[in-house]
């Protein structure tokens, strides 16, 4: 499975991991770990996880039939280290990591299980990847946004408010690279 294929699928439905497309043995159930940086009851996370299951179904991976998904929730990064240990101990074939704190906790726990991250602003700055072109290691994923998009945001602002002469973009580097 190519890294680019994985990233494409996760981008389409918040996350969708097409496990290796090879002959399946019905008695063998694949295992996916999901560690989310939000609460289980978060209304924004429910549709994302539903999209994950739907996309997996589309690819022939039906939860409870030939794939098992183990979900863990670490709102704001709470208990992320403990939950990462728990998931790694289950020996999933891939882990979906949501947010920086969760991805960092998983990276500390395993260098062998593939980890696909989402909702990470600067994976290079956080030390998750070596470069955008060649991530290296066992982590890959999607950035929340890339730096080049900022110019497009300003252009859109100018279209909406043509008399705009100043704009300010505020960000917290502790959240973007190292925090929740």
pLDDT in tens, 9-18: 454 433 333 4
In contact, 97 and 141? CB cutoff 8 Å: yes
| Tokens 């502790």, residue located | 174
At 178, is the pLDDT very low, low, confident or very high (cuts 50, 70, 90)?
A: very low
Q: Where are the alpha helices (DSSP H) in 29-148?
A: 45-58, 80-89, 100-109
Quote the domain boundaries for residue 84. Answer: 3-178
φ/ψ of 152, rounded to 5, equals -70, -35
For the segment 133-139, the average pLDDT, to the nearest whole number, is: 87
- What the block records as the tokens of 112 is 């062998």
In contact, 135 and 4? CB cutoff 8 Å: no
In contact, 16 and 55? CB cutoff 8 Å: yes
Helix axes 80-89, 100-109, angle to 10 degrees: 50
| Tokens 């100043």, residue located | 166
27 beta partners? none
For the segment 82-108, the average pLDDT, to the nearest whole number, is: 96
* pLDDT over threshold 80, residue 23: no
Residue partners of 18: CB distance under 8 A and separation at least 6: 1, 5, 6, 9, 56, 59, 61
- What the block records as the tokens of 10 is 């996760």
- The per-residue pLDDT for 20 is 40
Across the chain, mean pLDDT equals 81
Give the CATH number for residue 37. 3.40.50.2300
* pLDDT over threshold 70, residue 180: no
How far apart are the C-alpha atoms of 31 and 178, rounded to whole Å?
28
Q: Which of 18-32, 46-60, 72-86, 133-147 is predicted with the least confidence, judged by mean pLDDT?
A: 18-32
Residue-by-residue DSSP string for 84-95:
HHHHHHT--SEE
- The per-residue pLDDT for 26 is 52
Total tally of structural domains belonging to the chain: 1
* pLDDT over threshold 80, residue 55: yes
* pLDDT tens per residue, range 140-168: 988 776 666 667 777 888 888 888 888 77
């Amino acid at each position: 499975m190519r890294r680019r294929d994985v990233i494409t699928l996760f981008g389409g439905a918040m996350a969708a991991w097409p496990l290796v497309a090879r002959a399946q043995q019905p008695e063998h159930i694949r295992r996916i770990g999901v560690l989310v940086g939000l609460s289980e009851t978060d209304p924004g996370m429910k549709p994302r996880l539903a999209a994950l299951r739907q996309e997996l179904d589309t690819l022939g991976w039906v939860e409870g039939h030939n794939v098992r998904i183990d979900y863990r929730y670490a709102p704001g990064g709470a208990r992320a280290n403990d939950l990462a240990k728990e998931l790694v101990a289950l020996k999933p074939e891939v882990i979906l990591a949501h947010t920086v704190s969760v991805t960092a906790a998983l990276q500390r726990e395993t260098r062998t299980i593939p980890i696909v991250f989402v909702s990470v602003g600067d994976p290079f700055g956080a030390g998750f990847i070596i470069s955008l072109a060649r991530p290296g290691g066992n982590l890959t994923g999607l950035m929340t946004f890339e730096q080049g998009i900022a110019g497009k945001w300003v252009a859109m602002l100018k279209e909406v408010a043509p008399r705009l002469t100043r704009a300010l973009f505020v960000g917290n580097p502790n959240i973007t690279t190292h925090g929740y």
